[in-house]
Amino acid sequence: MEFNKEHFWKFCSKLKIESKERGLIPLVPNGCQRAYIDAIADGLANNIHDFKFLKGRQLGISTISLALDLYWNFKFSALQGTLVTHNDAARDFFRATLANYMSYLPKEYKVPVKAHNRTQLIFKNNSRFVYQVAGTRSSSDLGRSTASSFAHATEVAFWGDEEGLKSFEATLADNNPDRLYIWESTAKGFNHWKDMWDTAKRSVTQKAIFIGWWLNEEYQAKKGSDIYEAYWDGTLDAEETSWTKNVMRMYKYHITPEQIAWWRWRLEEKMNGDAVMMMQEFPPTEDDAFVLSGSQFFTNDRLTKAYRNAVDYEDTYQSLRFSMGERFDETELRPTTPLNAELKIWQMPKKGAYYVIGADPAYGSSDWADRFSIQVLRCYADGVEQVAEYATDGCNTYQFAWVIAYLAGAYGNCMVNLEINGPGQAVWNEILNLKRQAGMNVPGMSKGIQDVLGNIRSYLYRRTDGLGAGGLAYHWKTTFDTKHRMMHFLKDTFERENLKVRSVDCIDEMKSIVQNGGTIEASGKGKDDRCIALALACIAWGEWLRYDLITAGHTFASATRRDEINAVEQTQTGTIVMNYLKRIGIKDVNTHT
């Protein structure tokens, strides 16, 4: 639908706002507010009606949102609208702001009001705007609301009732041509708002927009001012260099010295030097917005570099999805779209290569880890690189065991390290069961599958303070101590750039990992399944394969040369591993989807 921005801005010019700096003044939009309206106009022009706005504080987004609320109710007759706040105080303040808007608005710019009370605003054009409070605890009646074709939801990150949130979303119209749904909020760590944000970024019917403080023209210290002279010294420190580069990379916006001077002044004199609080209040990027207190486990510089490299591989993986049969050998692996992919393959198995698999079943490593995840790494003497990733929440433990077996068989010379806690034991039992069936020549088990199962190598856990071969155990059991051992090895390997991560989703999970006191985990309800599987694979390489590969001189450079020599043979005749992949459903193993 078309949204006439010029008409809207003319409407806004007639509104009066109570500013904290200059009292009652006309609404003159700042850069953040203009970007907000531009995003909505662009989205509507492309048939997007659902917008998720991530913002910092004191940017004027609520002010301009309320102006749009009023405008939309005036523009469309018989509109069923809803304003949802996180608490009663915000509801009352917004209601008063709308009343103030209407009191100063000339008659020719507004629709007469039929009723305005604590619960709703009704206009004579039969549009209705209902006030609701989501609440900060799981006790609201939000899910009982009437159906709406317009909604303005504010500070969604602070809503306490996730079930009510889902019920509220179900009441929103899907096909009304005049529908508009605006969700705007600051961040509160890795909770339901982060999940909504991530969904919107992947969606084809929603739009995720970050509004940065640097768009507000007031957030700068003018050259020659006391603040500018005191805080701008002509150079950026390491942290400033990192986030200013990220702003340019992500949003194509150049941070000026005037803005740096303002940032330093605000940090020092308003935040008392609390950098974490500054990032929460005025995040430079969307990634910074979601970081909670606690020390980020992986460094920003390394994550940024890894993310840039991974983006280059976003369109190079093969998207695949398993179709599980009743038996192990009846399962198929089919091409699918990137959005539906369970298995992403960046590099097909190579002749003479060495691999490790890290497998973390749902709820194996933590109560929030609700996905089954597998990471396949190719191993060298001088590092590892991610070649495949499996992640899904639609799997059973026995099916997860099958997927592990498929990938271990497909990649051939492979060691498997499974998180054995909780459901991991059931996964391991199924792998053992498959091996027994293969050894017994059970009908339905092809010779090829028997060979695959017979050749799976399992990671052997050993205590770091143990002597000899005593105390070995199959796979990995995460405890407080072993998690530190595993995660710090992953960190060291990653920070030294000995680990190449291809998955953007995996890097996004790594961004959420923090060390808070003695714990290393994803913040809030953040997911870490992919990251844990990556750590399991990485430590299997470090503790069992690396030194043998050093002795053999199997470096990245030598393996690359070997790949080039083998390329012609593999193309002409295929390999056992590639034929195995074809048997389990991949029709053309050399084609990216």
What is the domain-level CATH number for residue 180?
Answer: 3.40.50.300
Lowest mean pLDDT among 60-69, 131-140, 218-227, 398-407: 131-140
pTM listed for this prediction:
0.70
410 neighbors 580 (Cβ within 8 angstroms): yes
> Do 578 and 493 belong together in one domain?
yes
Q: Residue 156 falls within a domain, yes or no? A: yes
Residues 187 and 126 in one domain: yes
Q: For all residues of the chain together, what is the average pLDDT?
A: 86
Q: Which of 4-13, 101-110, 336-345, 517-526 has the lowest mean pLDDT?
A: 517-526
Are 122 and 264 part of one and the same domain? no
pLDDT in tens, 229-283: 999 999 999 889 989 998 999 999 999 999 999 999 999 999 999 887 888 889 9
Domain boundary among 211, 229, 245: 211
Average confidence (pLDDT) over 550-569: 86
Q: How far apart are CA 362 and CA 360, in angstroms?
A: 7
Q: Which of 101, 119, 118 is nearest to 110 (CA)?
A: 101
* 303: in domain: no
Residue 147 neighbours by CB distance under 10 Å: 11
Do 47 and 109 lie in a common domain? yes
Query: Which of residues 211, 235, 260 is at a domain's end?
Result: 211
Structure token digits, residue 487: 């995660």
The CATH number for 340's domain is 3.30.420.240
Do 198 and 252 lie in one domain? The reply is no
In total, how many domains does the chain have? 3
**Same-domain check for residues 460 and 569:** yes
If one compares 550 and 527, the residue with the highest pLDDT of the two is 550
Quick one: 322 and 279 in the same domain? Answer: no
3-state secondary structure of 366: coil
Do 194 and 256 fall within a single domain? Answer: no
- Residues 28, 125, single domain; the answer is yes
In a domain, 588, yes or no: no
Q: What angle do CA 247, 524, 478 make, to 5 degrees?
A: 115
Distance CA 393, CA 342 (A): 9
The residues with which 332 forms a beta bridge, in sequence order, are: 323
**Residue 322, helix vs strand vs coil:** strand
300 falls within a domain: no
- Residues 250 and 146 grouped into a single domain: no
| Boundary (domain end) residue, out of 155, 188, 211 | 211
For the chain, what is the total number of helices (H) and then of strands (E)?
A: 21, 24
Does some domain include residue 71? Answer: yes
Mean pLDDT of 436-445: 66
Is residue 380 over pLDDT 90?
A: yes
Is residue 413 within 8 Å of residue 355, measured between CB atoms? yes
Q: What does the H/E/C string look like for 160-211?
A: CCHHHHHHHHHCECCCCCCCEEEEEECCCCCCHHHHHHHHHHHCCCEEEEEE
Domain that holds residue 223: 213-293
| 315 domain-assigned | yes
pLDDT of the residue at 589: 44
For residues 23 and 153, membership in a common domain is answered with yes
Measured CA to CA in angstroms, residue 166 lies from 40, 169, 176 at distances of 23, 5, 20
Tell me the residue type at 391.
Answer: A
Residues 32 and 120 in one domain: yes
Q: Is residue 385 part of a domain?
A: yes
Could you identify the residue written with the tokens 């059970």?
A: 442
Examine residue 299 and state whether it is found in any structural domain, yes or no: no
Q: Give 454-459's long-range contacts (Cβ < 8 A, gap of 24+).
A: 455/409, 455/412, 456/405, 456/408, 456/409, 456/414, 456/416, 456/431, 457/414, 457/415, 457/416, 458/415, 458/416, 458/417, 458/418, 459/356, 459/415, 459/416, 459/417, 459/418, 459/536, 459/540, 459/544
Report d(CA 382, CA 47) in Å as an integer: 49
- The one-letter amino acid code at 161 reads D
More confident residue, 364 or 315: 315
Residue 86 in this model has a pLDDT that exceeds 50: yes
